[in-house]
A = this chain, B = another copy of it.
Amino acid sequence: MAKRAKARLPRGFRDIFSEDYKLRREMLDKIQAVYESYGFEPLETPAVEFVETLGKFLPESDQPDAGIFAFQVDEMWHALRYDLTASLSRIMAMNKDIPKPYRRYQVGPVWRLEKPGPGRYREFTQFDIDTVGSGLMACDAEICMVLSDSLEALGFNRGEYVIKVNNRKILDGLIDIAMANGDDQSRQNQIAEWFKARHNNVKDNKIEITPELEHEHKLDIMRSIDKLDRIGIEGVIQILQKGRRDDTGDFKSGCFLTENQIAPIVDFLKLDCSSRAKYLDGVGKIELSEIGQEGLKELREIDEFLTGAGYDDTRIAFDAQIVRGLSYYTGPVYEVVLTIETTDDKGKPTQFGSVGGGGRYDTLVMRFTGQKMAATGASIGVDRLLHAYKSKVTDSPKTATQVLVTVMDRPRLADYQQMAAELRAASIVTELYLGKKPIGKQTKYANDRGIPIAVIVGEDEFNAGEVTLKDLKLGAELASGITDRDEWSKGQPAQMQVKRTELVEAVKGILARA
């Protein structure tokens, strides 16, 4: 006999059973209906792409193949996609004749080779929505509106969520000004110190400061700011300076900015964002480089469009603290935040937080074509959103099956099947019991599966032309003495005999009770 295989899941993967599956399907269907109402079209791309297509856009990753599942096929490096955006960029470069603006949505699994943990899987579902081929700010505004409408379609009320918008160009312009608080030589020294601290193994003491390296330094400043909600303003200041030691004792080296340079950044992060108007006013008073001014103009356009469309601050807000870690964003960025309360690992009440986000990325297709193509979009983390959605769904039956036709007298299987067929024909989801267990075990099976009604027919009933119906739900309630049904229902029996010819009507009657 061959060696037995171990029945186990690879680390970071999971099975999704009926109840969760159906709930997710229901949620995705509702979101999809909103997306489609705006003219977004579905797209599906393969799970496998060339590593070259995926590029190196994972947050906080320097290596092209770090964090992905890669393998060689036909002597070429393939990998499981880690997001849906890289594939969309490839498609835009391959299919030049797609009418633009191209509004598309895509939902599906992505894979990341990261350390799994509670609620952190190596395979998870993203639901993306993007508009490609238009640089109009109305596209960014529309994405935010669609996200807002989607959350409301799921039952999240005004005040339970907010889409927070900021602009990377404003951050860019702010950092330009901040860095200018220092002469050229000291700026070059800062970048060299930052680089050496990050790469312990740099042998050459003389670092050449290229524009690429300056850009990387700037991105690192943004990533540091992006940590705000986790490490607080004091933590951000430490990372913008020499570095920060976290609770576990790990030291993360910093960006080597001076106090003078950090001050305008901190001022910006503390901006009054209680309304879009106040944010715009506040930013208008800050010193910004040209790119920053452009970003401000863009957010004014978005505000105008949103206000015209009736989306106020409670639904879509401007927020100076939104950065979004990914390096490829080029303009507005947005974050989908649920403000409902939940509990953290330690049981402490906390805000549910981010369930997705996105932004504009006009340069992503350029990797393939050498030319810019305007694009903006967002990605929803389906698993996190589902977690919140569950709290909104009050009644989710364990199974869709409404009736179990039990089998007491196996030789008469065809007669039992006939009953099941009649019920199905009346759109009642019906299972015929096809195991070999006795009747007691059959009703236990129905209870275990959460099936509310059992049909029981033995020899006597066959002879009398009758069937017995068991209301298992009511039976369980009566047995436990707990029922929230009204008095009328309580008066109904949990078990009854009806004529065989009245089977369907009687089942409908019991279903109507619930």
**Residues of A bordering B, CB below 8 Å:** 2, 4-11, 13-18, 21-22, 25, 36-39, 41-50, 52-53, 55, 69-71, 73-74, 76, 78, 80, 87, 90-91, 93-94, 99-101, 103-104, 109, 111, 113, 122-123, 131, 133-136, 138-139, 142, 304-305, 307-310, 367-370, 399-401, 404, 413-415, 417-418, 421, 424, 427, 429-436, 445, 448-449, 451
* A22 to B32 alpha-carbon distance, docked (Å): 12
B421 and A309 within 8 A (CB): yes
Residues of chain B within 8 A of A36, CB atoms compared: 400, 429
Partner of A16, one of B43, B52, B414, B445: B43
One complex includes copies of this chain to the number of 2
Q: Which residue of chain B has its CB nearest to the CB of A109?
A: B47
| B401–A434 touching, CB < 8 Å | no
List 27 A-B residue pairs with CB atoms under 8 Å apart, sorted by A's residue number. Answer: A4-B368, A7-B368, A7-B369, A8-B53, A8-B90, A9-B90, A10-B46, A10-B48, A11-B74, A15-B43, A18-B41, A37-B429, A38-B424, A41-B399, A41-B400, A47-B109, A48-B69, A70-B71, A101-B433, A101-B434, A136-B434, A138-B432, A142-B434, A305-B417, A308-B414, A308-B415, A308-B417
- Residues of B near A76 (CB, < 8 A) are 10
List residues of chain B with CB within 8 A of the CB of A8: 50, 53, 90, 94
Q: Does the CB pair A73–B113 fall under 8 Å?
A: yes
Q: CB distance B430 to A39 under 8 Å?
A: yes
Q: Are B15 and A42 in contact (CB under 8 A)?
A: no
Contacts of A94 in B (CB 8 A): 7-9
Complex partner residue of A136 from B2, B6, B22, B436, CB under 8 angstroms: B436
Chain B residues with CB below 8 A from A131, complex form: 434
B-side contacts of A21, CB under 8 Å? 42-44
Residues of chain B within 8 A of A401, CB atoms compared: 39, 41
Given the known inter-chain contacts A136-B436, A413-B308, please indicate yes or no for A53 contacting B18, CB distance below 8 A: no
Known: A48-B69, A431-B38. A18 touches B5 (CB 8 A): no
Q: Say whether, besides A37-B430, A136-B434, A50 and B10 are in contact (CB < 8 Å).
A: yes
Name the distance in Å between A171's Cβ and chain B's nearest Cβ: 23
Q: Is the CB of B434 within 8 A of A139?
A: yes
Given A11-B74, A142-B434, A435-B134, also A449-B99 (CB < 8 A): yes
Q: Is the CB of A49 within 8 A of B136?
A: no
Are A48 and B13 interface neighbours, CB within 8 A?
Answer: yes
Do A15 and B91 touch across chains, with their CB atoms under 8 A apart? yes
A111 — which chain B residues lie within 8 A by C-beta? Answer: 47-48
Q: Which B residues lie within 8 Å of A134 (CB)?
A: 434-436
The 9 closest A-B pairs by CB, nearest first: A308-B414, A39-B431, A7-B93, A13-B46, A18-B41, A71-B71, A16-B44, A7-B368, A99-B448
Task: Name the residue on B nearest A445 (C-beta).
Answer: B99
Q: How far is the CB of A329 from chain B (nearest CB, A)?
A: 18
| Smallest CB separation, A127 vs chain B (Å) | 14
Most central of A5, A6, A78 by chain B CB within 10 Å: A5
Cβ–Cβ contact B309 & A417, under 8 A: yes
Return chain B residues, CB-CB under 8 Å to A432.
38, 138, 142
Q: Note all chain B residues with C-beta closer than 8 A to A133.
A: 435
Q: Most chain-B Cβ atoms within 10 A of its Cβ — which of A47, A55, A427, A435?
A: A435
Question: Contact check: which of B10, B78, B103 meets A431 at CB < 8 Å?
Answer: B103
A4 to B55, CA, bound (A): 11
A52 to chain B, nearest CB (A): 5
Bound complex: CA A128 to CA B5 (Å): 23
Docked complex Cα distance between A87 and B5 (Å): 12
Q: Which residue of B lies closest to A22 (CB)?
A: B42
Q: Tell me the smallest distance from the CB of A435 to a CB of chain B, in Å.
A: 5
- Interface contact A418-B309, CB-CB below 8 Å: yes
> Within the complex, what minimum Cβ distance (angstroms) separates A95 from chain B?
8
Query: Quick one: closest B residue to A398, CB to CB?
Result: B41
| Minimum C-beta distance from A11 to chain B (A) | 6
Centre residue among A109, A131, A370 by max chain B CB count within 10 A: A109
Cβ–Cβ contact A370 & B11, under 8 A = no
Q: How far is the CA of A78 from the CA of B135 in the complex (A)?
A: 43
Chain B positions within 8 Å of A109 at CB level: 47
A226, B417: Cα distance in complex, Å: 33
A415 to chain B, nearest CB (A): 8
> Considering the chains assembled together, what is the distance between the CA atoms of A138 and B412 in angstroms?
12
